[in-house]
Copies of this chain bind each other. A is one copy, B any other.
Amino acid sequence: MKYVTIKDIAKELNVAVSTVSRAFNDKYDIKPETRDRILKKATEMGYRPNPIARKLVQQRSFNIGIIIPEFENSFFPQVIMGAQEVLYQHNYQVLIMQSNESVDLEIQNAKTLVDNMVDGLIISLSGVGNNLSYYKELTEKKMPLVFFNRVPENIETSKVVFDDYKWALFATEHLIHQGFEDILFISGPDELILSKNRRRGYDDAHKKHRIPTGEKMTCGFSMQDGAQIAENLISKNNIPRAILAANDACAIGMIRVFKDSGFKIPEDIAIVGFSETKMAAHISPTLTSVEQPTYEIGKAAAQLLLEQLQNKGIHIPQTVVLNGRLNVRESSVVLG
């Protein structure tokens, strides 16, 4: 690839490169006529500024990095769409990397993005074996950082989270109200705060209604993970009356296995999912699920990052807690 450069234009027009540069960043003194002359020539020659060179001298890139654990569930893609919307408005480009639920790859991705001089980072942590020291280092070096959804506990920076406690409590209460007492609780990996918060919600719902809690398990976020747990339960003949699942994918995986084994949902086993996917309304039975405002999460994260970018130096860590909704559908309601 041959690129047209600022030098080519300067030579063509017999001006200094600095003059051409000024023509593109009006802020400096330049006569309108020469500016127009340069701009005209530039488009004529098909010139496009080289962001690489600019990054090098300005030590900033107008790029934002986003790191997510996976994008097979539609949750993260939707968050990204939200973030992109506000970042684009502020002329930032977005670089996406996915860590495939691997901490090593996640850190490697973060380093790559930092090496490439992103101006800030939006991150959702991978589930297992967190190693936060690199992120701590980054915050110490004043790199703008925002975590969302899967956030670390002891890093002083802005975060966007869902009120997992409240909605796990609410979902559990919903199941209790339906008359179920033996409720299996399934959450994501223990390291994630969101798992802890949901567990508290689950426990408190039981306390509030003065009934003993059911079994508690952890699980990954894929359909396979859910299916496997269901198979285990069946083989041990340990069938709960109701289940609060880690997410919709997990719930859907379980439902398939249970149905294949002849169980009726919700008549035999009621089930509630988490972080609503588009599928919830389309499977059979339709799935009751806690809906998270994915798009808003992305927008909020982007806005928090922009704040840090603008108030360089002084950064007051903020935690934005977003609200959700329980979409009650067939999978948790026994009629009559």
Measured in the bound complex, the distance between the Cα atoms of B67 and A95 in whole Å is: 12
The 10 closest A-B CB pairs, nearest first, are A284-B284, A71-B77, A96-B96, A283-B283, A52-B55, A252-B282, A256-B282, A1-B141, A52-B56, A51-B115
Q: Which residue of B lies closest to A96 (CB)?
A: B96
Assess whether A49 is interfacial by the CB under 8 Å rule.
yes
- Contact mask for chain A residues 112-123; partner B; CB cutoff 8 A; 1 contact, 0 none: 101111000000
Measured in the bound complex, the distance between the Cα atoms of B78 and A49 in whole Å is: 34
Q: Which residue of B lies closest to A117 (CB)?
A: B52
Q: A residues within 8 Å of B by Cβ?
A: 1-2, 48-53, 55-56, 59, 61, 71-72, 74, 77-78, 80-81, 93-98, 100, 111-112, 114-117, 141-143, 223, 252-253, 255-256, 278-279, 281-285
Residues of B within 8 A of A100 (CB): 81
Residues of B within 8 A of A223 (CB): 278, 282
Measured in the bound complex, the distance between the Cα atoms of B96 and A255 in whole Å is: 34
Measured in the bound complex, the distance between the Cα atoms of B48 and A49 in whole Å is: 26
Measured in the bound complex, the distance between the Cα atoms of B255 and A223 in whole Å is: 22
Q: Which residue of B lies closest to A93 (CB)?
A: B112
Instruction: Tell me if B72 and A72 are in contact (CB < 8 A).
Output: no
Describe A's contact surface by its main secondary structure: mixed
Measured in the bound complex, the distance between the Cα atoms of B55 and A72 in whole Å is: 32
Measured in the bound complex, the distance between the Cα atoms of B53 and A53 in whole Å is: 8
Residues of B within 8 A of A53 (CB): 56
Q: Which residue of B lies closest to A56 (CB)?
A: B52
Measured in the bound complex, the distance between the Cα atoms of B95 and A51 in whole Å is: 15
Measured in the bound complex, the distance between the Cα atoms of B2 and A130 in whole Å is: 25
Residues of B within 8 A of A285 (CB): 284
Q: Which residue of B lies closest to A256 (CB)?
A: B282
Instruction: Tell me if B256 and A114 are in contact (CB < 8 A).
Output: no
Other contacts beyond A52-B52, A56-B56, A253-B282: 15, CB < 8 A: A1-B114, A1-B117, A48-B111, A48-B115, A50-B115, A51-B112, A52-B55, A52-B56, A52-B115, A71-B71, A81-B100, A93-B112, A95-B96, A96-B98, A279-B279
Most buried by B among A55, A80, A281: A55
Which of B51, B78, B284 is within 8 Å of A283, CB to CB? B284
Residues of B within 8 A of A111 (CB): 48
